[in-house]
Structures are given as structure tokens and as C-alpha cells.
């Protein structure tokens, strides 16, 4: 009987996809000890947008949040999502910062680091993978799944062989837009299983309505772990429901060692929380629907809402159709990058600029210039040379790996700048990832501490 294991995503990707990661620690704390007994392969609880949102909107220290989860869940592997050389930010960081960040993540409680690169450039994964293994954690080497004339099963399998040589513990197929079809999943998982002897993890979203079928065919081909979300936070732009797949796979004769009673408790716990977010408007009902436009335009759900909000801000919602059509054209010009953070934002913003200006690449942002200079790594296909020349306007693209050109004293300078404001290495790393946001957080923390001191003195 083949075993299929589950990674529960409600604490990270599910709530990130549906409610923009606005789930504070105190909302889910009461269920953590139960979740710890459910039998999950892992619980994805950190990384992705959680770090930024904790500091920016929830007034939480992301490191403290991780330590609290670890204390409540001693028996379950805790997992995070890391953007390779981008860490959790939107630009590349020097190697020593990447190593420090990985080290601190493991020290604070992470067991599995899922490491991906927006361009599938393995040079951008090496340092993070190497340090994860060195720290005794599991490195999950990740394919950012997409389709294009240059993204073939054979190409993805080549990448997987490179990841295996790096020493990864598993291979994750990360389908961020929910565009992987059942047949594609079957072919890709089969190709990977034939090429390497490693567990295969499947990750997708319900955005296009394909996810349940995609998982079943992937499992038939030999996938070992699937990413799912407890039902109240499943569906739409999130993952398929944990309980539904548990029941279906169990009936099909697979070994799915989850505790059914605990799944029911989890669902009952998260239902009122979901309803609160529906009531206050944080959870937009549109996020819960199926949108097959993704299959045509290859635009992930989050990117679609970004396009809409950009056009709304410019009073140009009437240009939405044009922006949709322009997005795949920009993507082709940029060498077919997978549309995942940060490339999804680069491509989407440029498509909007092109449509609003009425001339392609008349206005270009700093990020798209950096991309064309080579600061994000090797593109899957060459960038359209005519477009690149127009954007760079005489500047020469960099040669080699961009991280090798970055200063080696970034951490030391940040620590010096913060002085006593930084109480630990983790504070400095928070600042390096999100300077202004972290400083605002430190200021609020200082004010709160002073208030406590004043209150204590008054009481005494």
C-alpha cells in the first residue's frame, strides 16, 4: 500500500492566498497542540510573505512567532518557503546574509526549507541549499512550474538532476498559478521519479479548478507528499482541502496516516475565523472562486488582483483586458520567466505601464532594468535583444552571478547602523530584509516596552 503524506498550509500559504497573510499568532495558537498530533508530514508555517506581513501589519516579531509555534508543536516538522538568493525580500542578497538567514531559521525552529528561484536558476539556489544541509535541516529543491516553449519535462528533469547533486532531501514541484494539468503532473512526476531516487512533493492552487485531479494523477505517478489546506481555508486561490483528499485517497487504498478526529477539530476551529475575515472584507469571495483565465494568460491569482488594483489606482480599469493580453507578451520578451514573486510583479507592472503609456517600454521601472541587467539571474530563454537594448539604453548587462558582485559587509553595516536598537542577530536580519518596515516595528516595540516600564513603576 503506497503511503501519501500531507503538508498542511493553513498557517502560511493558505492564509497568504486567501486573506493576504493577515492571520495573527493569537488567532491560531489554541489549535497548535492538536495540529501537532494530526500526523502531518510537515506544517508550512513561515517564510513567503509571513515575514514581511508580521512586521508591517501584524506588529509581530516573525522570529518570536516561529519560536512560539515550535514550542507548541514539538513533534511535527516545521517548514518554510525561501526565495533562494532573494531570501524573503525582492532583491538578491550577499551569500553571507543568505547563510546567516538560513542558520537563524533553523536555530529558531525550522526543519524543512523549501528553496525556489523565480527563474529556476540553480546558481541562485546553491548557497541556501548548502547552508540548510550544513545546519542539519532538510533542503527541498524546488521547481517553479510554468509552461512555455522552453519549459519542457526534459528541461525540468535536467534541473532536478542538478538539485540532487546539490544534496537536496526532496524535490518540490511548485505550481503557484494552479495551471498544472493532470497529464502534465503525471508526466513530470514520472520523469522525475525515473531520473532520481528522491521523494516528490506536489504543490498547487485551486485557482483554475484543476488541483484535485492534478494531485490524483501526480500520486498515481509516484508523488509522495501533497500540499493541502484545512477545508475552511481551502479552495479558490488556496490549496485543495486536506479532509477531502484524505477521504478520497483512503478510499482508493492509499496509506494516509492522518487523525480524522483532529482534522474535524481543526476544521471546526478555523470555520469561525474564516467567517470573521469574510465579514470584515479581508477575505474577498472572489478569491474563493474558480478562474480559468489563468490557463489562458498564465497569471496567478495574486498577480491578477495586483493588476486590477494597479489599474484601479490609475483610474484605468477599462484597460484590464489590454493588460491581460499584454502580460504574456511582456513575459515572452523577458525570456519566459515563471510568474512567481518577484518576476510576477515585474512582468505585471510592466504590462500595465505599456498599456497606459500606449507605447511598449516607453516607461520602465528600476526593477525591470535590474532584471535586464542580469541581477535576477539566468533567464529561461534569452531576453528579446531589441527590448533589452531599449530598456538598458547603452548600459551593459552584468556577466556571471550577480551575488558575487555584492558587498561582503552588508550584515556588519546593518548591525552598526542599528546599534542598541537591534537586540539580537535576528533583528539585524529583519532589517536587512525590510529596512524601513523593520525600523518602524522596532520603534513600536520600544514604545510598548517603555509603556510597560512606566506602568510597572506606577503600580509599585
Residue 286 domain-assigned? no
pLDDT band at 87 (very low <50, low <70, confident <90, very high): very high
Residue 285 domain-assigned? no
Asked if 238 and 264 sit in the same domain, the reply is yes
Pairing of strands 5-8, 42-47: parallel
Asked if 56 and 187 sit in the same domain, the reply is yes
Q: Which domain holds residue 264?
A: 5-279
The pLDDT, as a whole number, for residue 299 is: 73
Asked if 256 and 323 sit in the same domain, the reply is no
Note whether 131 and 97 are within 8 A (CB). no
Asked if 266 and 397 sit in the same domain, the reply is no
> Domain with 366 in it: what CATH number?
1.10.472.90
Task: Write the pLDDT tens digit of every residue in 407-422.
Answer: 999 999 999 999 999 9
10 Å Cβ neighbour count for 371?
Answer: 27
pLDDT of 241 > 80? The answer is yes
Give the Cα separation of 424 and 36 in Å (integer). 29
Asked if 392 and 433 sit in the same domain, the reply is no
Mean pLDDT, rounded, for 112-141? 97
pTM (two decimals):
0.94
Q: Provide the number of structural domains found in the chain.
A: 3
Listed residue (96, 95, 143) closest to 121, CA to CA? 143
Q: In this structure, what C-alpha cell is assigned to residue 26?
A: 493569537
Asked if 44 and 20 sit in the same domain, the reply is yes
Task: Write the pLDDT tens digit of every residue in 224-237.
Answer: 999 999 999 999 98
Task: Write the pLDDT tens digit of every residue in 415-450.
Answer: 999 999 999 999 999 999 999 999 999 999 999 888
Mean pLDDT, rounded, for 334-350? 90
CA 92-93-95 angle, 5° bins: 125
Last residue of a domain, one of 250, 279, 308: 279
pLDDT of 128 > 60? The answer is yes
Asked if 142 and 19 sit in the same domain, the reply is yes
Asked if 399 and 425 sit in the same domain, the reply is no
Asked if 311 and 328 sit in the same domain, the reply is yes
Task: Write the pLDDT tens digit of every residue in 147-171.
Answer: 999 999 999 999 999 999 999 999 9
Asked if 345 and 310 sit in the same domain, the reply is yes
DSSP for 10-53? IIIIIHHHHHTT---HHHHGGGHHHHTTS--SEEEEEETTHHHH
Residue 284 domain-assigned? no
The pLDDT, as a whole number, for residue 301 is: 62
Q: Three-state SS across 342-403?
A: CHHHHHHHHHHHHHHHCCCCCCCCHHHHHHHHCCCCCCCCCCCHHHHHHHHCCCCCCCCCHH
Bridge partners of residue 139, in order along the sequence: 113
Last residue of a domain, one of 376, 403, 430: 403
Residue 374 domain-assigned? yes
Q: Helices 95-107 and 126-134 meet at what angle, rounded to 10?
A: 40
Task: Write the pLDDT tens digit of every residue in 274-329.
Answer: 999 999 999 988 889 898 877 877 777 667 767 777 888 889 889 988 998 899 99
Residue 262 domain-assigned? yes
pLDDT of 5 > 60? The answer is yes
Amino acid at each position: 500500500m503506497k503511503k501519501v503524506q500531507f503538508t498542511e498550509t493553513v498557517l502560511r500559504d493558505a492564509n497568504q492566498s486567501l486573506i493576504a497573510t493577515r492571520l495573527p499568532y493569537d488567532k491560531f495558537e489554541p489549535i497548535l497542540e492538536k495540529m501537532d498530533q494530526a500526523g502531518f508530514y510537515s506544517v508550512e508555517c513561515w517564510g513567503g510573505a509571513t515575514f514581511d506581513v508580521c512586521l508591517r501589519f501584524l506588529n509581530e516579531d516573525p522570529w518570536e512567532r516561529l519560536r512560539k509555534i515550535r514550542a507548541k508543536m514539538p513533534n511535527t516538522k516545521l517548514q518554510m518557503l525561501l526565495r533562494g538568493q532573494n531570501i524573503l525580500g525582492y532583491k538578491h542578497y550577499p551569500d553571507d546574509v543568505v547563510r546567516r538567514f538560513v542558520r537563524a531559521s533553523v536555530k529558531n525552529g525550522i526543519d524543512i526549507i523549501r528553496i525556489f528561484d523565480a527563474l529556476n536558476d540553480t546558481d541562485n539556489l546553491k548557497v541556501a541549499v548548502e547552508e540548510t544541509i550544513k545546519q542539519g535541516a532538510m533542503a527541498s529543491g524546488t521547481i517553479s512550474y510554468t509552461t512555455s516553449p522552453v519549459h519542457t519535462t526534459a528541461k525540468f528533469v535536467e534541473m532536478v538532476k542538478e538539485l540532487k547533486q546539490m544534496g537536496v532531501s526532496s524535490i518540490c514541484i511548485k505550481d503557484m498559478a494552479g495551471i498544472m494539468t493532470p497529464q502534465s503532473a503525471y508526466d513530470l512526476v514520472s520523469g522525475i521519479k525515473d531520473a532520481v531516487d528522491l521523494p516528490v512533493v506536489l504543490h498547487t492552487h485551486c485557482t483554475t479548478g484543476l488541483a484535485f485531479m492534478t494531485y490524483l494523477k501526480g500520486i498515481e505517478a509516484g508523488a509522495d507528499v501533497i500540499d493541502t489546506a484545512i477545508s475552511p481555508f481551502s479552495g479558490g486561490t488556496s490549496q485543495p482541502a486536506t479532509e477531502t483528499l484524505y477521504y478520497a485517497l483512503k478510499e482508493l487504498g492509499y496509506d494516509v496516516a492522518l487523525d480524522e478526529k483532529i482534522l474535524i477539530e481543526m476544521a471546526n476551529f478555523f470555520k469561525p475565523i474564516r467567517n470573521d475575515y469574510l465579514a470584515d472584507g479581508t477575505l474577498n469571495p472572489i478569491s474563493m472562486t474558480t478562474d480559468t483565465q489563468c490557463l489562458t494568460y498564465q497569471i496567478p491569482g495574486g498577480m491578477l488582483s495586483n493588476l486590477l488594483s494597479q489599474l484601479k489606482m490609475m483610474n484605468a480599469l477599462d484597460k484590464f483586458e489590454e493588460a491581460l493580453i499584454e502580460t504574456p507578451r511582456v513575459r515572452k520578451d523577458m525570456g519566459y520567466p515563471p510568474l512567481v514573486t518577484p518576476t510576477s510583479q515585474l512582468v505585471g507592472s510592466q504590462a500595465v505601464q505599456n498599456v497606459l503609456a500606449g507605447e511598449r517600454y516607453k516607461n520602465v521601472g528600476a526593477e525591470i532594468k535590474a532584471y535586464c541587467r542580469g541581477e535576477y539571474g539566468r533567464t529561461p530563454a534569452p531576453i528579446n535583444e531589441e527590448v533589452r537594448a531599449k530598456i538598458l539604453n547603452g548600459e551593459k548587462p552584468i556577466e556571471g552571478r550577480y551575488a558575487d558582485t555584492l558587498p561582503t559587509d552588508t550584515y556588519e553595516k546593518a548591525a552598526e547602523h542599528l546599534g542598541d536598537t537591534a537586540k539580537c542577530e535576528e533583528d539585524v536580519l529583519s532589517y536587512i530584509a525590510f529596512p524601513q518596515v523593520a525600523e518602524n516595528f522596532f520603534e513600536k516595540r520600544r514604545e510598548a516596552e517603555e509603556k510597560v516600564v512606566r506602568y510597572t513603576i506606577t503600580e509599585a
